Structure 1
Amino acid sequence: MRLSTVILPVDRWREGGRAKWQRAEELGFHTAYTYDHLSWRTFRDGPWFGALPTLTAAATATDRLRLGTLVTSPNFRHPVPLAKELISLDDVSGGRITLGIGAGGSGFDATALGREAWSPRERADRFGEFVPLLDRLLTEGAVSQRGEFYAAEEARNLPGCVQRPRLPFAVAATGPRGLKLAARHGQAWVTTGDPKLYEEGTPEQSRAALRGQVERLGKACSELGRDPAELDRVLLHGFTPDRNGPLESVDAFVDYAGRHRDLGFTELVIHWPVPGSDFATDPAVFERIATEALAQLG
């Protein structure tokens, strides 16, 4: 099992931003992700910087740490310019980029461009067109395609990604259509658990829901003739009923990680501490988890 972190883009680069990414590398995290939003939840009225420029800066400030979005969505992105930016970012980083990608939600991103939020069905329809087109754009030198929502006309993306055939996709999904996209196009699958259990569910119910998601992912892979073991299974911590306890101590986290490893997860992602927020973890405990937990897990 690997341990990664997500660093919210809330700090000016010269006032703590750079230091966090460099410290993430020093602590030995596998990947440091950031959220790709225009603004997000309770952080809307404070500083919030762009994901891809932040990752570009992080790429120049680190040497070994993998970097990625968790997650990019069609809410304010188009596959053609996104592909160009990702190829550039993969080049700057020397091939250390993972694209976390999801269908998006109904938050601030959904209306920031002055339109009504898409329905769940339209989000799924757009996602189903977005991912395959982005896949082509990152693997082919020139792409022309016209779909219901997105088009490309002789879109050229030479020289392509440093990583071949392209940078990896970590597809966030829980529904049948999204899981099929993960099975077909993903190198990893991402979940935050079952949102219906967030407020009043129990840890046991959450683990049962996650087990069901893993099983449905396996079924989607099998239907495509793909070995489910080819996909990493990533759990983003912080959105399940047991969200608070695991970061209170190393022992608590080892127990949490072990239970989810047994469900088939290969990577856990924890939030970098943000004082005064839902992610206000004790920094000393956080660093001990980063450096000690997986060794104890064996």
Structure 2
Amino acid sequence: MRLSTVILPIYRWNEGREVWRRAEELGFGTAYTYDHLSWRTFRDGPWFGAVPTLTAAATVTERMRLGTLVTSPNFRHPVTLAKELISLDDISGGRVTLGIGAGGSGFDATALSRAGDEAWTPRERADRLAEFLPLLDRLLTEDGVDGVSHDGEFYSAYEARNIPGCVQRPRLPFAVAATGPRGIKLAARHGQAWVTTGDPKLFETGTPAQSLEAIRGQITRVGAACEAIGRDTAELDKVLLTGFTPDRPLDSFDAFVDFAGKHAEAGITEIVLHWPIEDSFFASDEKIFEQIATEGLAQFG
């Protein structure tokens, strides 16, 4: 099992550079950041762009992988995103993972809308992802002089060129966040990893045991989707972004060991912890967090 972290893009860079450097010093396999325009209770405070933040992080780290968790079609277009990603992959020396999903109904969903417009429904977001992801796959792999052309329901491209392409071949990896059947099929077909936050219905009223069982069920469905297209499910990493289940793995080192062990047994191959942020939803004891990062990595890495 790998242990990673997600660092919210809330820091001015004179402070943020030290956070990203520290994440590498602690030995995290990957440091991700959210790709939102703003998010929940952080909306009224500092919040920076994901790709510029990761670009800056690439210049102050050497080994640690970097990524989004997650990007969505809410305010992105495949053509412009592909150009940013190949640039970031080049600057980082091939250390980028794109976490991607259908997005939610928060601020991102309406930031580009006219006043009074309603956010896309879950079905509409899934429809867009189903077109967005295969097109992005093509844009990042078909890097010849003819470019990529596409005339779809939601997105279009005309001879879009991305020379020289990604450093990572055939392209940088996708980590597809999904719990519904359509998203899981996309993960099986296009992903190098699948991402879950557990079952959202269990976050406030469920138990850790119920949450673990729900995640087991999700992993089973991912395996079935892989089998349906003749893919070995072992090729697909299973990533758990923590903080949205009834568990409290950051309460103590022992709590984390118990949590990680049970989820590793269930089939999770990467656990992602939120970097501690005081007076927020992600507040936690920094000493315990660093102990988990160092000793937890030694035990499960």
Task: Give TM-score, length-normalised by structure 2.
Answer: 0.97
For the Cα contact (< 8 Å) 2:198–2:240, is it kept in 1?
yes
Match in the other structure for 2:135: 133
Query: How far did 1:249 drift?
Result: 1.4
- Distance in 2 separating the partners of 1:254 and 1:272: 18
Deviations 1:220-277 (A, max 9, x none): 00000000000000000000011xx311211110110000000100000000000000
Deviations 1:39-93 (A, max 9, x none): 0000000000000000000000110010000000000000000000000000000
Match in the other structure for 2:285: 282
Paired residue type of 1:167: L
Q: Please, which of 174, 177, 187 is the counterpart of residue 182 of structure 1?
A: 187
Match in the other structure for 1:3: 3
Match in the other structure for 2:271: 268
Match in the other structure for 1:105: 104
The structure 1 segments of at least 4 consecutive aligned residues displaced by more than 4 Å after TM superposition are none
Paired residue type of 2:257: V
For the Cα contact (< 8 Å) 2:2–2:300, is it kept in 1?
no
Superposed CA RMSD in Å reads 0.8
SS for the counterpart of 1:235 is strand
- Distance in 2 separating the partners of 1:296 and 1:269: 16
Query: How far did 1:297 drift?
Result: 4.4
- Distance in 1 separating the partners of 2:45 and 2:151: 39
SS for the counterpart of 1:262 is helix
Paired residue type of 1:188: A
Query: How far did 1:286 drift?
Result: 0.5
- Distance in 1 separating the partners of 2:16 and 2:68: 16
SS for the counterpart of 1:10 is coil
Q: Please, which of 255, 260, 266 is the counterpart of residue 257 of structure 1?
A: 260
Query: How far did 1:296 drift?
Result: 3.2
Is residue 82 of structure 1 aligned with residue 81 of structure 2? yes
For the Cα contact (< 8 Å) 1:254–1:294, is it kept in 2?
no
Match in the other structure for 2:229: 224
Paired residue type of 2:16: G
Match in the other structure for 2:20: 21
Paired residue type of 2:285: D
For the Cα contact (< 8 Å) 1:203–1:241, is it kept in 2?
yes
Q: Which runs of 5+ in 1 are unaligned?
A: none
SS for the counterpart of 1:287 is helix
- Distance in 1 separating the partners of 2:224 and 2:202: 23
Match in the other structure for 2:159: 154
Match in the other structure for 1:211: 216
Aligned length: 295
- Distance in 2 separating the partners of 1:208 and 1:61: 40
SS for the counterpart of 2:159 is strand
Q: Please, which of 170, 174, 177 is the counterpart of residue 169 of structure 1?
A: 174
Q: Please, which of 118, 121, 124 is the counterpart of residue 122 of structure 1?
A: 124
Paired residue type of 2:9: P
- Distance in 2 separating the partners of 1:236 and 1:296: 19
- Distance in 2 separating the partners of 1:109 and 1:222: 34
Deviations 1:188-234 (A, max 9, x none): 00000000111100111101100000000000000000000000000
SS for the counterpart of 1:94 is coil
Deviations 1:142-183 (A, max 9, x none): 100111000110000000000000000000000000000000
SS for the counterpart of 2:239 is strand
For the Cα contact (< 8 Å) 1:251–1:293, is it kept in 2?
no
SS for the counterpart of 2:150 is strand
- Distance in 1 separating the partners of 2:241 and 2:275: 12
- Distance in 1 separating the partners of 2:131 and 2:289: 39
Match in the other structure for 2:55: 56
Structure 2 CA distance for partners of 1:69 and 1:297, relative to 1, 3 Å:
closer
Q: Which runs of 5+ in 2 are unaligned?
A: none
